[in-house]
């Protein structure tokens, strides 16, 4: 049986949402940070490469997903507000069924998102923010759906102790369904704990969960962790490895990121 583009998109959608991070995140991890950029400052954050694989080679269906240059550029407007622009410069996914490979690739959609840190408590080190965003299609037929999509994120963070930070977020998305006939609602949540190990090294553990109105197999999640390396002031590498959870989604994802404070 041949694999149609619709079948490919339907069976690979949940994996792509997890391992390609279709909405670029502002933090070094998947969980959104509450921090905004100072007025006049510019911060460039890039997932240099994101890779998702199904490691069970005996399974009849195989998934491979690759994203290069998932980029988020943030510019500070005030002490509590910044404006962010995101896109994916290259996305490719491959679905194999009974030895028949189908590959799609193209440019990811464009994301515009302001961030407002509306609450800070210096005594406890807590902060909360709101990040509404809109995703605009780039007319990349293989990857995009030529539909405007949107969401809102509510991140929270707290300083637990010296060198230790916790963060969490909830997200409400309105995405176009695979058949491109209606919008589906997705609920997404994530959390991490991060430890600073000296002046250059860091480590963190992170988990995510998501579900949507798309169907009974839309539940998914990840459990993983990573390490950060600050090479010099303003530049940091981040490597994260996660196990993907959910029926039919036995896969690992690896992401190599960097952050660069330009101004």
Name the residue ranges covered by the structural domains of the chain: 5-261
Whether 134 has a pLDDT exceeding 50, the answer reads yes
pLDDT confidence of residue 15: 40
Arithmetic mean of pLDDT over the chain: 79
The model carries a pTM of 0.77
Q: Which percentage of the chain shows pLDDT scores above 70?
A: 69
Token pair for 4: 């149609």
- Domain 5-261 in this protein, CATH class: mainly beta
- As a whole number, mean pLDDT of residues 244-260 equals 75
Q: Which percentage of the chain shows pLDDT scores above 90?
A: 39
Contact yes or no for 155/166 (Cβ under 8 A): no
* Cα–Cα dist 70/80, whole Å: 25
| Residue 216: band (very low, low, confident or very high) from pLDDT cuts 50, 70, 90 | low
- As a whole number, mean pLDDT of residues 166-179 equals 88
Strands (E), the chain: 42-53, 61-76, 81-97, 100-106, 110-121, 126-136, 149-161, 164-176, 183-197, 201-212, 220-232, 235-245, 251-261
DSSP string, 81-142: EEEEEEEEEEEEEEEEETTEEEEEEEPPPEEEEEEEEEEEETTTTEEEEEEEEEEE----TT
Whether 67 has a pLDDT exceeding 90, the answer reads no
Whether 97 has a pLDDT exceeding 70, the answer reads no
Name 161's Cβ contacts closer than 8 Å, sequence gap at least 6: none
- As a whole number, mean pLDDT of residues 218-233 equals 88
Q: Which of 170, 1, 202 is nearest to 95 (CA)?
A: 1
| Residue 143: band (very low, low, confident or very high) from pLDDT cuts 50, 70, 90 | low
pLDDT confidence of residue 142: 54
pLDDT confidence of residue 3: 41
- As a whole number, mean pLDDT of residues 127-141 equals 85
């Amino acid at each position: 049986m041949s694999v149609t583009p619709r079948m490919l998109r339907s069976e690979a959608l949940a994996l792509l949402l997890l391992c390609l991070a279709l909405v670029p995140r502002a933090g070094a991890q998947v969980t959104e940070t509450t921090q905004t950029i100072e007025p006049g400052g510019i911060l460039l954050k890039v997932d240099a490469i994101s890779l998702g694989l199904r490691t069970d080679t005996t399974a009849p269906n195989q998934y491979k997903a690759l994203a290069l240059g998932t980029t988020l550029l943030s510019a500070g407007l005030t002490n509590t507000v910044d404006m962010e622009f995101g896109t994916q410069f290259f996305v490719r996914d491959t679905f194999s069924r009974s030895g028949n490979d189908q590959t799609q690739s193209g440019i990811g959609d464009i994301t515009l998102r302001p961030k407002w840190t509306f609450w800070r408590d210096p005594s406890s080190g807590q902060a909360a923010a709101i990040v509404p965003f809109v995703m605009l299609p780039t007319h990349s037929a293989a990857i995009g759906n030529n539909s405007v999509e949107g969401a809102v994120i509510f991140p929270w963070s707290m300083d637990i102790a010296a060198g230790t930070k916790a963060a969490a977020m909830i997200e409400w998305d309105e995405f176009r369904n695979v058949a491109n006939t209606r919008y589906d609602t997705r609920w997404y949540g994530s959390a991490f704990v991060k430890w600073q190990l000296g002046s250059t090294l860091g480590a963190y553990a992170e988990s995510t969960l998501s579900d949507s109105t798309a169907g009974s197999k839309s539940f998914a999640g990840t459990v993983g962790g990573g390490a950060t390396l600050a090479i010099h002031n303003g530049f940091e590498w981040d490597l994260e490895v996660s196990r993907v959870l959910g029926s039919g989604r036995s896969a690992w994802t690896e992401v190599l990121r960097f952050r660069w404070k330009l101004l």
